[in-house]
Structure 1
Amino acid sequence: MSSNRAPRRHHYIPRMILRNFINDMGGLHFWRRSFAVGDVKVTTPENLFLEDDLYTFIGDEGERDVSLEYGFSKLESTGAQFLRQLLGIVRAGKTPRMGNEVWEFLHHFRYYSDKRSAAWHSRFLSDDEFNAALEEVANQPRWTDADRAWMTDLEDVDRIKRNARIAAQASGPPEGLLVEMRSRGLAVYLAPRNAAFVLGDHPTAMAKVGPAAEEAPGGKISFMPVASDVALGYCSQAKTVHVEQLTREQLRTMNEAMTRQSVMIAGRSHALIASLSRVNYETPDYFTTSEYLLG
């Protein structure tokens, strides 16, 4: 689908999740690593975790194909309804029951939430790595000098890089990965009273928290905050839901893990974001694997 009037500001952390973290004034406190430590600012969900034309294919003549952005919007609409129901149930102290269709949606929602992240793509394949792969292909004997000529057009090379990354975001989960996902259940992590999760520029992080971590690969659980008081992960038993109340210490460990891998963090509390701004950055190894999907 092509359109010159389609939205160009694409959120890689959906606004329907961002809105679950707003404070009483309707804003989100945030901090970037380009800011001084403790220099926390505030804005609205519309202005965080986005890039212009992040999911837009650009054709040879400059035409824009926004089909992927529309597809993600539909996924978010269904996801918003799912999360509203889930949050209402767990906040009432109950355990959700989910049918097969809901489980299947959840696996795809989690997969695309991770994969569409701008942070994941920029750190998974750097420009230097892309250029090295491009040069290796171009040096193959079947390429002529005419075939290689376009490589001197930096604007065209940049367009092809972006399109390649977007194509990777659009591809569905491999069947083997889906089989693994279907063998797991849902873990729901609840923040302590008057405490909160933070969001990072990649939606999922891994931390050594609770007994489930002892059984997980690498001794860590993966978690994805979906509201200031709730995060989702995987448990070991298929199609079961495990609700776990966190301690303040466990929540702090999870927030520090999220911050450590993030260039930008956001949340309800100015004080919380300011305290986490002291956590140093460290690119996690699992950005180059699917480990975080199944931890």
Structure 2
Amino acid sequence: MPPVPKRHHFVPEFIVRNFRGPDGLVAFYDKENAGDGVVDRNPSKVFYRDHLYTKTDANGTRDVSQELAFSAVESDAAKVVQKVVLAARDGSLASLSPAEKYQWDIFFYDQWRRVPDMRTSLFSPDYLEELKASALSDFERDYRPMTDEERAHFSDHSVVERMNQYAMVGMLEKRSPMILDALRRRGLGVVRLEKSSKSFILGSRPVVKLTQPGQTSLDDPTVEMWMPVAPDVMIGMGKPGREDVMAYANDAWVRGFNMSVVSNSSQIVSCSAALIKSLLKPR
């Protein structure tokens, strides 16, 4: 039997490797360990958590099928990303087949929803506690009063953690057809740097959604979503009507985007430690 994968990367290594510096390492900053400052890390040792997508039953049996499913998606997406990046650096917009565009849409959607920062923003500890209390209340209403032993069981921290993990991974096993259809209706969007002296950063929440007040629908042409896939290239949504688009980002736009990454992510990766430090200093 093959070994059970333990280290689950929520941002794929093939993306992180694109942000390596000349020494083969990435500059890394973790807000939860801000005292460490910006440190150098091997690309394989950032943006991961042990058994992040593992479901564990009451007997301790581990199910890593979701991690394996994400790995399969990443393998397909890596070829598409390389094709788009090479074309962008050559000053052109890659022409993707319908299959390649679908592979990108799946990967892009997963990168938007699968990361811990997204989970934290949607499901606070208080919210999860309310969900548990509501579920137990519904059980008693529909079936019978719970015993003291059962109440103690569902108050056990390890049991609650396992149940929450099981529910979270279960949610990731299904993709919304509505969102995938919305992404399909948008073309491919590519942004390349106007100046080679600038760089995009990569966050632990790698997909950044840019919206106007009150406008959140993916069918709205003013709504943008972007993911840096290299220091000089981002990929995201094109225009409605499946229209592909390529644009060049000037200095002000790049810094504004990078600041959005800093604001929305708990961890940051860059090819430059100096860049991360400059973004952490208010102007």
Quick check: 1:46 aligned with 2:44?
A: yes
The answer (yes or no) to whether the contact 1:26–1:44 under 8 Å persists in 2 is yes
Q: How does 1:14-53 map to 2 (within 5 A)?
A: 14-36=12-34, 39-53=37-51
Q: For residue 78 of structure 1, report the CA deviation from its aligned partner.
A: 0.9
Percent identity of paired positions between Structure 1 and Structure 2? 26
The answer (yes or no) to whether the contact 1:40–1:270 under 8 Å persists in 2 is yes
The answer (yes or no) to whether the contact 1:186–1:235 under 8 Å persists in 2 is yes
Q: 1:115 to 1:279 in 2, by over 3 A?
A: farther
Moved more, 31-40 or 191-200: 31-40
The letter for the 1-side match of 2:113 is: K
Quick check: 1:186 aligned with 2:184?
A: no
Q: 1:160 to 1:143 in 2, by over 3 A?
A: farther
Whole-angstrom CA distance in 2 between matches of 1:143 and 1:118? 36
How many positions carry a matched residue from both structures?
A: 273
Q: 1:20 to 1:33 in 2, by over 3 A?
A: same
Whole-angstrom CA distance in 2 between matches of 1:276 and 1:220? 24
Quick check: 1:135 aligned with 2:136?
A: no
Q: For residue 60 of structure 1, report the CA deviation from its aligned partner.
A: 1.0
Q: How does 1:2-151 map to 2 (within 5 A)?
A: 5-36=3-34, 39-140=37-138, 141=141, 142-146=143-147, 148-151=151-154
Using structure 1 for the length normalisation, give the TM-score. Answer: 0.85
Structure 1 runs (4+) greater than 6 angstroms displaced: none
- 1:205 aligned to which of 175, 188, 208: 208
| Aligned-partner SS, 1:202 | coil
Using structure 2 for the length normalisation, give the TM-score. Answer: 0.89
| Aligned-partner SS, 1:5 | coil
Q: For residue 208 of structure 1, report the CA deviation from its aligned partner.
A: 7.3
Whole-angstrom CA distance in 1 between matches of 2:32 and 2:110? 28
Whole-angstrom CA distance in 2 between matches of 1:244 and 1:38? 37
Q: How does 1:192-271 map to 2 (within 5 A)?
A: 192-207=195-210, 221-271=224-274
The letter for the 2-side match of 1:28 is: V
The answer (yes or no) to whether the contact 1:207–1:253 under 8 Å persists in 2 is no
Whole-angstrom CA distance in 1 between matches of 2:249 and 2:233? 10
Whole-angstrom CA distance in 2 between matches of 1:37 and 1:149? 39
* Aligned-CA RMSD value: 2.5
The answer (yes or no) to whether the contact 2:206–2:228 under 8 Å persists in 1 is yes
Residues 6-61 of structure 1, C-alpha deviations (whole Å, 9 max, x = no match)? 22111101101000111111000011224458921111111101101001110110
Q: Which 5+ residue runs of structure 2 have no aligned equivalent? A: none
Q: For residue 85 of structure 1, report the CA deviation from its aligned partner.
A: 1.3
Q: 1:113 to 1:195 in 2, by over 3 A?
A: same
